[in-house]
Chains A and B, each alone.
Chain A
Amino acid sequence: MTLKGRMVHPDKRKGLLYVYQGEDSLMHFCWKDRTTGEVEDDLLIFPDDCEFVRVNECTTGRVYVLKFKSFSKKYFFWMQEPKTDKDDDYCRRINEALNNPPTSGGRGGGGGGAQDGELQNLLNNMSQQQLMQLFGGVGQIGGLSSLLGTMGNNSSSGTGSGGGSGSARASGGSGGSSRGGSAPRTSESTPAPAAAAAAATTTTPTPATPATPATPAAPARTTTRREVPPAATPPNTASATQPRSGQIFLSDLQRYFSGLGNAPEGAEGGAGGAAGGEGPGRVELGAALAAPDVVAAASEPRNAQRLAPHLPEPAPTAPTAPAAPTATQPHDDVRTTLLSPQFAQAANQFSSALTSGQMGPIMTQFGLPPEVASAANTGDMQAFFKALESTSNASDSSKSQGEDKKKEKAKEDKDGKKDGASGMSLD
């Protein structure tokens, strides 16, 4: 939201608010643009210097402000969590993290290396559960942001918040996450919930929040925050007939991630065992999906056509190209994708996520039938595949049959022509 004069105006970009403790033991308060992945605000917070509070004067949205004791600048944030029940909790946890940062090793001790070591030891010696307790929702939120980042937008976030362990190391923070499932433009087709309708349909600034009276001196640049209008939230789109693959809803993700901590290797091994009979190794799809018969099946024109929209984009034509006009722009087709190490990595991640038994909600989001989702929830890959195969007639075949028919028709046409041609030559 941006402060203009004494009014706060919304900034509609989707963002993520999070707090973490840096290696220097200082707390960082950050806002990240989830579309670009850019962390636009990274504020160093000193204990007892700030306050994060709800702006009660604002009745058209849930607006929070970060205020400092030592200076007058204010940062406004527009909360977009679909449910309000956790609002107070997030707010409390942010304050707690900012003003009572967890002491790591020896804060203020100054010795960089040793201190890190201590912290690491401390963390390593804690059980999974202790960690989860200690860090509250951090893991969830971090994961959430990165997943949302990737899901919502392919070009997406640059940060992804540090390959996994970032969550544990970025200690003590708690994130009031904010979200917007779909981009504003979808709101045209979506009936907005009454309360949010005003904010949603008017694309330009709306909720005229009386800006905190105490800020006349605040510089005009008291920039602050931005969200997608609440109109674009789950219930509508969820019931829409064709769930768009780019959309993942917060509640599902929360369910998804909340279980993560409790399903470590044991459970996974179990699931893997169940799936793989006695196989001690974990079943990974990366290599399996690059097998020649898979590549062949996927490369069949009618299948390739369906896969095409999900392929990586071709590289933008290099501006340096003129010297080599003959150089063909590399472009990933189905085959190169299946054989690429990047795809293999993604497929392996997918298989581990699946065996952790928490992919059900995501399957639902992709429009797969409930049987598939519940099979995915068991974490048993075999059951999941079985469900996929047994339901594929019911769910997708109508579409694919349609396509098949089209294909057949095209083929007939072609054959017909051929016949005609050969007939002519015979004549």
Chain B
Amino acid sequence: MESAGDWCLIESDPGVFTQLIRKFGATGVQVEELWAIDDGIFENLRPVHGLIFLFKYMQDDEPPEPVVCDDRLDKIYFAKQVINNACATQAVISLLLNCNHPDVDLGPELSKLKEFSMSFDPKMRGLTLSNSQTIRTAHNSMAQQPLFEFDPKVASKDDDAYHFIGYMPIDGRLYELDGLRDGPIDHGPIALEQDWLDVVRPIIMKRINVYTEGEIHFNLMALVSDRKMIYERQLHEVQMLTMETDDMENEIQRLRMLIEYEDVKMARYQQEMIRRRHNYLPFIIMLLKILAEEKKLMPLLEKAKERASKKGTKKMKV
């Protein structure tokens, strides 16, 4: 997929997504990356409002399940993707706009957007999203600063196209929201006492299994309630109890640690964002100057060449 208009390519990273959501003005939610899709993995993350799945896009796969085109479209916010590079943002927004959980507060900007475009058809909704200044600005502020801009032809040809889609339960059924389809894909009902994550798991597994073994071009992220908020709520509840026991002490300790962990994580996200947006050119030049003074440049180049030729021959063998 090529970049389009002035939407930048953004990294698929839970920090980027979490900050993106905050920039939209939504609160009470964050994004966590999942490294496996076993049963236990969601335990510490519940409630999970939706999943974002990134995969290598293959042109030929047909939707296995029926595409919704009846009046459910009035209730499900589905937007067709009309611009490239925005699929991550679009997947996140689609999940958010369909999320009715009390933890999640969309904030004025997204609420307005939803209200404004709810009556549109999917294509018009997509256009509305792509023309939203707030969304685009937020999206673009997540991108890495390019030191230089090159003609696209210089970029490696085997750049794969990736695509993000969302999964979430809406009104008792599991839907797949893929901006490149004509509508939401209905994956069937979720039984009343059934956890929707149990329904979605085999579907994602099946998708992953389509790819040849050894391919790791997937990324699964979960849209979850703000963890710190949840822990603070739990802490509050525990502290409300008047009796003090050792168990309670331990629980308070545990929650405090988790809250601290979240704080550290957010600080790290921020730091990473600063790095992404930092202009490293002056640093590089100064570093090269220093290395030149210490006569370390030539040996460095020799090593880099060695590495490059190794890489090159390896590539040629494959």
**Residues of chain A at the chain B interface (Cβ within 8 Å):** 20, 22-24, 28, 30, 37-39, 42, 112-113, 120, 128, 131, 139, 142-143, 146-147, 149-151, 154-170, 245-246, 260-261, 264-265, 268, 272, 275-285, 287-289, 291, 293-294, 297-298, 303, 306-307, 309-316, 318, 320-321, 323-324, 326-327, 329-332, 337, 340, 342-343, 345-347, 349-350, 352-353, 356, 362-363, 366, 368, 381-382, 385-386, 388-389, 391-393, 396-397, 400
Contact = CB atoms under 8 A, between A and B. Distances in A.
Contact of A154 (B130, B148, B279): B279
B6 to A, nearest CB: 5
A147 B275 contact: no
A158 B72 CA distance: 37
Contact of A275 (B123, B259, B276, B305): B305
A356 B150 CA distance: 10
Report the 9 A-B pairs with minimum CB-CB distance, sorted nearest first. Answer: A281-B312, A165-B152, A279-B309, A281-B308, A280-B312, A143-B149, A346-B280, A310-B283, A288-B304
Contacts of B290: 297-298, 303, 306-307
Nearest to B83: A23
B275 A159 contact: no
B259 A169 contact: no
B143 interface: yes
Interface hub of A39, A288, A329, A382 (most chain B Cβ within 10 A): A288
Nearest to B256: A323
Interface stretch (B32-40, B48-56, B197-205, B263-271): B263-271
Interface hub of B151, B275, B288 (most chain A Cβ within 10 A): B151
A371 to B, nearest CB: 12
Interface in B123-177: 123, 127, 130, 133, 136-137, 140-141, 143-155
Contacts of B141: 37, 158
A323 B232 CA distance: 10
Contacts of A312: 271, 274-275, 278
A283 B304 contact: yes
A265 B284 contact: no
B154 A350 contact: no
Nearest to B260: A324
B230 to A, nearest CB: 14
B187 to A, nearest CB: 23
A327 B264 contact: yes
A291 B288 contact: no
Contact of A160 (B82, B146, B278): B146
B286 A161 contact: no
B151 A261 contact: yes
B82 A24 contact: yes
Contacts of A275: 301, 305
Nearest to A358: B148
Contacts of A278: 309
Contacts of B109: none
Contacts of A323: 256, 259-260, 263
22 contacts: A158-B137, A159-B6, A160-B146, A162-B5, A162-B7, A165-B151, A166-B4, A166-B149, A264-B153, A276-B308, A281-B308, A281-B313, A297-B294, A310-B283, A312-B275, A312-B278, A314-B271, A314-B274, A324-B263, A327-B260, A389-B295, A392-B289
A310 B145 contact: no
Interface residues of B, number: 86
A7 B80 CA distance: 45
A311 B283 contact: yes
Contacts of A280: 309, 312-313, 315-316
Contacts of B82: 23-24, 112
Interface string B298-317: 10110111011111110110
A162 B4 contact: yes
Given A163-B9, A279-B305, A293-B296, A349 B288 contact: no
A39 B6 contact: yes
A368 B289 CA distance: 9
A391 to B, nearest CB: 8
B271 A332 contact: yes
A278 B306 CA distance: 10
B268 A268 contact: no
A289 B283 CA distance: 12
B308 A294 contact: no
Given A166-B5, A340-B275, 13 more contacts: A154-B279, A158-B137, A159-B8, A160-B146, A161-B149, A169-B5, A264-B151, A265-B153, A282-B312, A294-B300, A323-B259, A331-B271, A385-B292
B297 A388 contact: yes
Nearest to B308: A281
A156 B133 contact: no
B63 interface: no
Given A22-B5, A276-B308, A350 B147 contact: yes
Given A297-B290, A382-B301, A169 B3 contact: yes
B240 interface: no
Nearest to A162: B3
B64 interface: no
Contacts of B191: none
B281 interface: yes
A315 B274 contact: yes
B272 interface: yes
Contacts of B2: 120, 165, 169
Interface hub of B83, B298, B308 (most chain A Cβ within 10 A): B308
B8 A163 contact: yes
Contact of A291 (B4, B152, B303): B303
A39 B315 CA distance: 42
Nearest to B264: A327
B127 A167 contact: no
B151 A260 contact: yes
B286 A307 contact: yes
A292 to B, nearest CB: 11
B102 interface: no
B3 A165 contact: yes
Contact of A347 (B144, B266, B280): B280
A329 B266 CA distance: 11
Contacts of A279: 305, 308-309, 312
Contacts of A276: 305, 308-309
Contact of B277 (A156, A272, A311, A381): A156
Given A164-B150, A261-B151, A385-B301, A337 B283 contact: yes
Interface in B86-125: 123
Nearest to A246: B282
Contacts of A388: 288-289, 292, 297
